[in-house]
Chain A
Amino acid sequence: MPNPSSSAFAGRSALRDADFWTGLVLAGAGGVALYQALGFDGASRNFPLIVSGLLTAAGLALLVRCLTGKLTNPLKRREMAAIAAAIGLIALWIVALKSGLGFVISTFALQLGLLWLAGERRLLRAALISALIAVAAYLTFAMLLDVRLPRSFLNFILPGL
């Protein structure tokens, strides 16, 4: 029988384990999918019911294994923070494009942010590289490949801005 102090330690270390969070998210997502599948019509529900049930059970098994075993997949906070910031930057880029900020400006800001996250601290150099990438991407996609990029409210100043 595990003593209380070692269980508490296992619980604390589990919170730093990727398996713990993965198991938790998967069991939760599987549970929601299972609940939703119950509302589908008779012939359409069987397959999603089986698959979501399997996902829930496997997620729970991972969670239990993580809580009762040792730390297997430790998360590195600094790296995770940078990746989370990159995800946030792309989300902001999509929102900016949707709200009509324009491709070149949005992409310039995205690249600048990504370069900063990757450790480029020389602002002028980063700005130059970002501008170059944004303009090159606009020319390639809008001009060469004829992709219709989202419209910008600054289009009257310069196309693509």
Chain B
Amino acid sequence: MDQILLGFAGLMQIDVLLFLSIGVLAGMVVGSIPGINDNIAFAVFIPFSFTLPADQALALMVGVYCAAAAGGAIPAIMLRVPGTASALMTTIDGNAMARNGQAGRALSIAMTSSVVGGLTSAVVLLICAPALAMLALRFGYVENAALTVLGLSSVVGLLSGKILKGIISAALGLLVSTIGFSQVTGFPRYTFGSINLVEGVPFVPLLVGLFGVAAAFDLLRDIIRERAQGDAPESLPRIGSMRLEAGLIRRLLPVWGTSSAIGNFIGVLPGAGMLMAIYLAYDQAARRFQRKFAGRPGEMEWGKGTPEGIAAPEAANNAVTASSMVPLLSLGIPGNSTSALFIGAMALHGLVPGPLLFANNGDIAWMIIVAFLVANLLIWPAAFVVIGLVSRTIFSIPKPVLAGVVLLLCVLGAYSDGNNLFNVWVALGGGVVAFAMNLAGIPLGPAILGLVLGAQMEASISNALTISQGNWLVFIDPVNHPISAFMVALAVVMWIAPPLNAWRRRRAAR
């Protein structure tokens, strides 16, 4: 309880609260720009956090993260174009409801669902992260090595038929993590004589490139594609009343509960991401709708403007935001790509996520947790401001201008990390690699995990083997290292389960 109060004390300073509010408002605005996802929003805001003290900068980033996920619903409903990928399913029923003259109602359902999902997620973060961090503090080299293997393996089950490309991605990330002085002996590796690489590839510029620059290239490609197809923008529907009646709230309560639970569960799994959460939540909401409401008089068909079709994905995507910070803050393993960018934001202020964060920088760790709670409460007023005052202006920004501005902000963000042009080359290289990976259908998640976990994996395995005099069985010793044995067993299950399932499906189909 004392720690929670410590977090509130840190957050309730006027300047910190102000930056959290700015973050929420800015995240809502950026999230509502079609084509700008939460990763780009984050990458774009990194340069602005350079000059701020750690608490203000991280409050700003928490605000951006939470609100960008919610803001994506605004263009999804108004334009049938998801502002962020996480609002993909909201376009179906959201835009249908808006075209039926109930845009205000659709927006209101989306924002309320986002707030509900986000608040449950903040509670999960509040409870789980410190508890997991306490457990992780007891980890030695053996357990840490097993943890990194488990962290990397956790994405394997989510690759559905892309195992080879997942391995490529992870190997790429791990290989990049070996660049620079060896942590074991200090031997310079893959530096090619460059002094800029002796401490490894600059992390923040690389992340800005992998997410921001690559996304700007994607945006440019979309513009060219749309121009070739001659897509014309649709007119905006009238917003109308945003009031939600009590009956509708009662009807949506079970959907919010289930979708939030799904979002929270997916969120704490490293590498799972929002998309899986929104698909699962949308699917369960569809089943419930067919069971309870389909065919009733006055009831819409599924996909034609049902409230559940908006509530489920929106509650699920915001339920991922804070819960994806659980493995990051407690174990140092990013839950999704945006939380990986959070590592960069923290690194700029000399903070390292993981169990020691609570011991060494408890005030900041608790402030971040509490900020997630407050940021979700601020989403509602921010949504009112954005929907009512600036959404029409935002929708009129030409995409070509947007692509240029995003690209410029990303490269400037990379440059600002030490005022070094080498960092811009790194961001450009990262952008090119991530864009090429996207083209080839190689998932980025395993590469990020490899990048983040690589150094820790190498050092822990090396130290564990030195202590155990080269005994590899130390990692599966159930007597002296039961936690490590359990984590390795879990990792093995994660590797075996997908091909085994595929084999069983093929056999059943025959």
Contacts and interface: CB of A to CB of B under 8 A. Distances in A.
Contacts of B221: 79, 82-83
B49 to A, nearest CB: 10
Contacts of B458: 47
9 contacts: A26-B168, A48-B178, A51-B171, A59-B168, A82-B220, A83-B220, A110-B404, A115-B404, A137-B412
Contacts of A47: 174, 178, 457-458, 461-462
B165 interface: yes
A91 B428 contact: yes
Interface in A82-125: 82-83, 86-87, 90-91, 93-94, 97-98, 107, 110-111, 114-115, 117-120
A157 to B, nearest CB: 22
A7 interface: no
Given A90-B411, A147-B412, A118 B189 contact: no
Given A41-B187, A58-B164, A83 B217 contact: yes
Contact of B189 (A40, A65, A78, A137): A40
Q: Number of contact residues on B: which range applies?
A: 35 or more
Contact of A33 (B190, B225, B432): B190
A22 B398 CA distance: 33
Contacts of B441: 18-19, 72-73
Contacts of B223: 118-119
A90 B184 contact: no
Contacts of A30: 171, 175
B184 A43 contact: yes
Interface of B: 47-48, 50-51, 164-165, 167-168, 171-172, 174-175, 178, 182, 184-185, 187, 189-190, 217, 220-221, 223-225, 227-228, 398-401, 403-405, 407-409, 411-412, 415-416, 419, 421, 424-425, 428, 431-432, 435-437, 439-442, 454, 457-458, 461-462
Interface string A31-73: 0010011001101101110011011001101100100000011
Contacts of B227: 119
A114 B403 CA distance: 8
A143 to B, nearest CB: 12
Given A115-B400, A150-B421, A62 B185 contact: no
Given A73-B441, A145-B48, 14 more contacts: A18-B436, A22-B442, A44-B182, A47-B462, A51-B174, A51-B454, A58-B164, A59-B168, A86-B220, A118-B400, A118-B404, A129-B401, A137-B408, A137-B412
Contacts of A55: 168, 171-172, 175
B224 A82 contact: yes
Nearest to B178: A48
Most central of B217, B401, B409 by chain A CB within 10 Å = B401
Contacts of B224: 78-79, 82, 118-119
Given A40-B187, A62-B164, A73-B439, A86 B217 contact: yes
Nearest to A141: B412
Report the 10 A-B pairs with minimum CB-CB distance, sorted nearest first. Answer: A118-B400, A44-B182, A22-B440, A55-B171, A44-B187, A114-B404, A47-B458, A18-B440, A51-B174, A58-B168
A91 B209 CA distance: 14
Nearest to B408: A137
Nearest to B403: A118
Nearest to B402: A118
Given A91-B428, A110-B408, A133-B405, A41 B164 contact: no
Nearest to A53: B171
Nearest to A115: B400
A27 B121 CA distance: 42
